[in-house]
Amino acid sequence: MNFQPASAQKLYPDIVWKRLFADLDRDGQGLNIQIRRTIVCAIEQGVLTNGTRLPSSRRLAVLLGVARNTVTAAYQLLIDEGFLASRERSGIFVAASTSRIAVGPDRQDAGDGKWAGRFAIRPSDLRQIDKPRNWLDYPYPFLFGQFDPAIFPTNNWREAMRATSSVKEIYGWAGDRVDDDDPDLVEQLRLQVLPKRGIFAEPDEIIVTIGSQHALSMLVQLFVGSKTVVGVEDPGYTDIRNMAGMATSNLRMLAVDHRGVVPDAELSECEIALLTIGHQCPTTAVMPLQRRRELLELAERDDVILVEDDYEADLLLEGEAELPCLKSLDENGRVIYVGSFSKALAPGLRIGYIVAPRSVIAELRVLRRIMLRHPPTNNQRILATFIALGHYRLHLKKTGAILRRRADLISGLLPEVLPGFRWRRDAGAKSFWIEGPPDFDSGCLARAAREKGVLIEPGDIFFADPETGRRFFRLGFTAIGETRIEAGLRLLGDLVSR
């Protein structure tokens, strides 16, 4: 906002207040909170100066089209916090003691040029998955790993938040736990989450992480030196390939077929392999039981550590069953299990976990403490309460039924809208892996589709050789509402037919 405030104790014209509150979102946070945030921000930035008089609560309510009680409550809280002051028979003013941040013009970092030669690594040079930050603004987001706000269990999550916000509860989670986790969450993992995957672990065999990405990063730091032989799937998860590639010069690309990673000689030479067993990323392949046993036999024979990234666990689509995870079949302590709540609940929650032998968890705790001490305990406690109240199980059941309908709808439409293409979606997967004809370029399609409001994920990013994946793309369905699927797919089909 560029307007300049009038002199102190002069009431601004109505247009000024309308502009100040122009971004009020009727569907966003509570209006009381938005009004307070706007006023505080204007004070801190010097837009509202000391002694500036605010409109009466009645007048501002009329200007903003909100209830007067909403404005009155906002004003009172800001008075209590010292941002505003009430003067008898005069009105509400910006408090004289309020500090402000000096806001200068935007400028480039004066020393920007000197930094390029000082970086030990250049992560920005790595190939990375590109998803628009404002994907929610697109009408047809066929993206994997995002969530549909319409099916998030808002009321049940709020109940869990309220239950953990009493004074006693706050005392319980507000302190520094050093390198410990919230015991309630660890207990809920042991009682309600892990047993469904066939895993029975003691508390000292579990560590909480800030999502599975953090878990995988810590494991790479702990186990991978500059000469360690590390296996990653090809095609596979891009960031796993990037993490391992930055840590070692001995990166091996492991073959993947229609049953997942192949337990061959290349895998036998690895010291550690980072794998997606339940649903191979990105092909969705579910590794059959026999191959899982072959994989465990290879790991024991050739002394290979297997990291199982079970990123799509828990959220089963109605009527579809999943095989026991690799960790549940492991009798020799070869498998380290990584789980997450991102796909089943919400990616923004950023809570994951690792299940591993005690000695591994002990080292991970020290490593995590050095990095960030521990994940936010309030978030851990809220999630633990959400699970303990039965909300998590109910959410999985409801969401599984919704996603099954979406998957069936897409399966029925694909032969019509994408003739000449092949696709797969193994049981329980939340995306389709689609292969076009030899001359098809998914990157070109993705760019054209984005202009039409349709978001898909080109497949080249998942391959070590981008050219190999040029004709593939991934079609997710967790973020798009059922009523928009057909229109989005037909738009995609029209673009392909041209």
Percent of the chain residues past pLDDT 90, beyond the cut: 69
Go through 468-488 and write b for each residue having 16 or more CB atoms within 10 A of its CB, e for each that does not: ebbbbbbbbbbbbbeeebeeb
| Average pLDDT of the chain to the nearest whole number | 90
If DSSP codes are grouped into helix, strand and coil, which group holds residue 17? helix
Question: Comparing 240 with 25, which gets the higher pLDDT?
Answer: 240
- Looking at residue 110, its pLDDT comes to 55
Read out DSSP for 193-251? IGGGGT----GGGEEEESHHHHHHHHHHHHH--TT-EEEEEES--HHHHHHHHHH-SEE
In tens, the pLDDT along 394-410 reads 999 999 899 999 999 99
* Maximum distance among all Cα pairs of the chain, rounded to whole angstroms: 86
Question: Comparing 9 with 188, which gets the higher pLDDT?
Answer: 188
Q: Taking residues 94-116, report their average pLDDT.
A: 64
Helix (H) or strand (E) holding 267: helix 265-268
Given a contact cutoff of 8 angstroms between Cβ atoms, the answer to whether 39 and 74 are in contact is: yes
Residues 320, 323, 329, CA angle at the centre, nearest 5°? 165
Residue carrying structure tokens 């997606």: 276
pLDDT greater than 60 at residue 27: yes
Q: How would residue 382 be classed by pLDDT, with cut points 50, 70 and 90? A: very high
In tens, the pLDDT along 183-235 reads 999 999 999 999 989 999 999 999 999 999 999 999 999 999 999 999 999 99
In tens, the pLDDT along 146-167 reads 888 888 999 999 999 999 988 8
- Looking at residue 12, its pLDDT comes to 81
Go through 42-52 and write b for each residue having 16 or more CB atoms within 10 A of its CB, e for each that does not: bbeeebbbbeb
Q: How would residue 46 be classed by pLDDT, with cut points 50, 70 and 90? A: confident
Q: How would residue 101 be classed by pLDDT, with cut points 50, 70 and 90? A: low
Q: Taking residues 286-303, report their average pLDDT.
A: 96
Q: Taking residues 276-294, report their average pLDDT.
A: 95
User: 112-121, 268-277, 311-320: which has the highest mean pLDDT?
Assistant: 268-277
Q: Taking residues 329-357, report their average pLDDT.
A: 93
CA atoms of 176 and 454, how far apart (whole Å): 45
pLDDT greater than 70 at residue 99: no
CA atoms of 139 and 493, how far apart (whole Å): 16
In tens, the pLDDT along 56-78 reads 999 999 999 999 999 999 999 99
- Looking at residue 123, its pLDDT comes to 87
Calculate the dihedral angle through the C-alpha atoms of 392, 395, 397, 401, rounding to the nearest 10 degrees. -160
Q: How would residue 344 be classed by pLDDT, with cut points 50, 70 and 90? A: confident
| pTM of model > 0.85 | no
As given in the structure block, the two tokens for residue 463 are 């391959």
- Looking at residue 453, its pLDDT comes to 95
If DSSP codes are grouped into helix, strand and coil, which group holds residue 114? helix
Contacts for 162-169 with beta carbons within 8 Å, 24 or more apart? 163/385, 163/389, 164/378, 164/381, 164/382, 164/385, 169/381
In tens, the pLDDT along 418-455 reads 999 999 999 889 999 999 999 999 999 999 999 999 99
pLDDT greater than 50 at residue 299: yes
Percent of the chain residues past pLDDT 70, beyond the cut: 93
Given a contact cutoff of 8 angstroms between Cβ atoms, the answer to whether 476 and 488 are in contact is: no
- Looking at residue 106, its pLDDT comes to 56
pLDDT greater than 50 at residue 5: no
